[in-house]
Structures are given as structure tokens and as C-alpha cells.
Amino acid sequence: MEVTVLVGSQWGDEGKGKIVDILSDRYDFVARYQGGANAGHTVIIGDQQFILHLVPSGILRENVKCVIGNGVVIDPQALLDEIQFLESSGISTKGRLFISHNAHLIMPYHKLLDQINESGANKIGTTGRGIGPCYIDKYARKGIRIVDLLDRNVLKEKIKLNLEEKNNLLKKVYNHAELDVEKIINEYVEFDKQIDQYITDAPSLLNNAILEGQSVLIEGAQGTMLDVDHGTYPFVTSSNPTSGGACTGTGIPPTKISSVFGIVKAYTTRVGNGPFPTELFGDEGEELRKTGAEFGATTGRPRRCGWFDAFLLNYSRMINGIERTAITKLDVLGYLDEIKVCVGYEKNGKKLKSYPTDISQLENVTPVYETLKGWRQDISGARSFNDLPAECKEYLSFISQESGIEIKIISVGPKREQTIEL
């Protein structure tokens, strides 16, 4: 049975929410494998807009079951707000949403430490949602997991132990007021009462479903270039959004993965700090940002915008093993007379053979561009490939050839119906 991994191919915000929504009615399960409420997946159905941070957007299809995998870090308040929002919008989560017992919990000190770190000299430009500090505790083997909620004594003991250390750090290093242990314990006990019904042994649930012939779409958050191993380190998130993370983040073994689907925006954006070789500045960048409404779904921050980078996409294809892609926001480029596509990088006059992820190199490359003719028209009403202007088809053919990708879905607007399947 089909088990597909869906990844963001650039720096996140490729429009994964919409494509997961389109694809999810072909799957029995949609499972999220990493990240947390730093993600913001926007789906528009009719006149209603849904922005989901933790729950996979498959929840919007009533026959689909959704899993928050063990690789995700869960902010209790963000999760409860989202469940409440879905229920009040008439979308039932009962019996359809499952939370892995091995997922880690974001604690109040994680958010605080994220904000304190970001106020120092080494700013990453994080979302401030406590993601990095939570993964630090996970790998330091001090984390508090969903399963710990099931035994009050274990939970209290773990919170007490963690707070002893964190309060010391807050007081002695950061000169910050201590956090109240009892208040935090009460908050998390309260949280458990509300999410207890969703807690599951998710690896068994998913693997049994696959054995019974059911299909799974494994959904990543963020994007390849934000991967802690393969991205533009240190300007990355603290998890593995690349396809490799799908196995560790859900408990589905590599032998069960059938294919990898990449989501690619028709141009490039990035939120937060770090190198971005094809970035556009001044009026050019501003116009692309405005036309594409490039403002973060989680933080509202303006996204940095730039030309499509085929060299980067080639790297992303290699790291993820991307076979098929969906290209999103193609309609946004309709205002341009000419469109540039980066086909490689040069350093000291020499063309680079492979993608440099060392930022000291990446900060000093010169992108090599090819210029294509723009189509200068609104394509948001196109419903088949033949409705697209010749220059637009040329653009698609050029970027797929340069990046080595096969385009299977073209999105020409945020609505479900603004989608062309090839």
C-alpha cells in the first residue's frame, strides 16, 4: 500500500498545507513527523481559511485519520487551541486524531529559553515557540514526553527535576525570575485530562494499518534547507524536515516507504536569518512579497523573497529522493516581464559542482541566472495545463529540467479548485 513522504523542498512555506489537503483524500492516514507549532499550514476551503500548526491538514477530510508522530514537539496550549478551533468549525477530532505517546512536550521554560537565546548576539530568527530548547532536552535525555502524562507521580517528579536545573540557569545565568513548579505541574495535569483520549502507541497504529493495506501520507513541516543536518546550519530548525526524518519521526520503517513527494514554490522564500543567494532586495523583493502575500502564517513576519533556485532544488531532490513534485504559487509570477532562474553558483569565478551547506561558502557565492520571458497575465483561473500561456509552460519545463524534477501538480491559487493535475 502507498506510503508517501511529503517534504518541503526549499526553506519552508512552500504551500504544503494546501497540497496535503488535495492529496489526503487518497490516503487513510496523514501523519506528521517533526517540528512543532513553529509551522503554519494554511488551507482554504470555500470561504473558510484554516491555519494549522500541529494537527496535519488531513483532518479537514472526514475520512482521513491523523497522527502527530513521536518526532513532533507538542505545545499543549497550541494543541488544545487547535483542537478547539477544529471542533468549533464542525471538524471532529474524536477517533480521528492520534498523538504518539513518545512525542516530547514543550514546557514553559523551553519558550522562555528560546526567547532569551534570541535576545543575545547569535540570533537565528526563530519563531520563539520553544522548539530548539525542547529538542535540546530530548537529546540530552531530560525531555518530558506525552507518555509521562499517564502517570502523575512520574510527571511531577520529572517536572520538579527539570525545573530545579532550569530555575538555576534562569536565576544564575540569565538573572531571570524562577518559574513556579506547582503552577506548571497543575497546567500539565489539566492538559492531560483533555488530551488523554488522543494518546496512542502511534508506531503500532501506523504499522498495523500498513499491514492491513491502508495508505499513509507522512507530512513534514518546514523545509529541506532548514534541516538541522542538511540545511544551512546554524540557520536551521532543530529537527529533520528531510525525508529521512519521516521514519524516525513516526516509527514507519524505510522498507515501507513507497515514494517521496516534494513541494516546491515557483520562487524562493525564507523567514529568519541566514544565507539566501537568490534573494531580491528593495522594490523588487517588496513587490514579490506583496504579490505573493509572503507573511508568516505563525509569526506574521515578512518573508524574504527571491528567484527560483534550481541549483538548490537539485540538492533538495538528491537529499530527499524526491520523485514527483507539486509546484505552488505559480500565479504569483504573472506580473513579471522577465523571470530569472538560478542554474548554479560561482565562487571566485569557478562554477560549484555541489551545493555548499557551509554558510561561510554559501554567503559568498554568486548565483548564475538564466532569464526567461514572463507571461504577464492572470493564470489563477487556469484549470488544465493547456489553459497556461506558452511562456508559463516554458518556465515549468525549464525549471523541471534544470532541477531534475517531475511536476505532477500545479497550484495557481490558494483554493482547492485552483489546482491542475498532470
Catalytic (active-site) positions: 13, 41
CB of 73 to ligand IMP, least distance (A): 10
Closer to ligand IMP by Cβ: residue 244 or 272: 272
Closer to ligand IMP by Cβ: residue 232 or 250: 232
Residue 269 gets which letter from DSSP? Answer: E
| The pairing of beta strand 199-200 with beta strand 97-100 | parallel
Q: Which amino acid, residue 111?
A: K
Closer to ligand IMP by Cβ: residue 295 or 369: 295
Residue closest to ligand IMP (Cβ): 272
CB of 155 to ligand IMP, least distance (A): 25
Rounded to whole angstroms, how far apart are CA atoms 243 and 206?
Answer: 17
CB of 216 to ligand IMP, least distance (A): 22
Closer to ligand IMP by Cβ: residue 156 or 289: 289
Alpha carbon separation from 367 to 289, 352, 356, 364 (Å, rounded): 20, 10, 12, 10
CB of 208 to ligand IMP, least distance (A): 31
CB of 218 to ligand IMP, least distance (A): 17
Rounded to whole angstroms, how far apart are CA atoms 240 and 226?
Answer: 8
Cell 505517546 belongs to which residue?
A: 101
CB of 13 to ligand IMP, least distance (A): 5
Rounded to whole angstroms, how far apart are CA atoms 50 and 29?
Answer: 19
Closest C-alpha to 53, from 16, 87, 24: 16
Backbone dihedral angles phi then psi of residue 190, each to the nearest 5 degrees:
-60, -45
C-alpha triplet 14, 400, 293: angle, nearest 5°: 25
Residue spans of alpha helices (H) in 140-235: 152-168, 181-195, 202-211
Closest C-alpha to 144, from 156, 127, 132, 129: 156
Residue 393 gets which letter from DSSP? Answer: H
Phi-psi region of 300 (alpha: psi -120 to 50; beta: other; left: phi over 0): left
Grid coordinates representing 346 are 560561482
Closer to ligand IMP by Cβ: residue 124 or 396: 124
CB of 296 to ligand IMP, least distance (A): 7
Phi-psi region of 115 (alpha: psi -120 to 50; beta: other; left: phi over 0): alpha
Rounded to whole angstroms, how far apart are CA atoms 320 and 230?
Answer: 10
Closer to ligand IMP by Cβ: residue 18 or 96: 18
CB of 273 to ligand IMP, least distance (A): 6
Closest C-alpha to 32, from 229, 209, 202, 272: 202
Rounded to whole angstroms, how far apart are CA atoms 177 and 164?
Answer: 13
Closer to ligand IMP by Cβ: residue 220 or 344: 220
Residue 175 gets which letter from DSSP? Answer: -
Q: Is the CB of residue 221 less than 8 Å from the CB of residue 35? A: yes
Closer to ligand IMP by Cβ: residue 65 or 329: 329
Which positions touch ligand IMP (CB under 6 A)? 12-13, 38-40, 124-127, 129, 131-132, 221-222, 226, 235, 237-238, 271-272
Q: Which amino acid, residue 397?
A: S
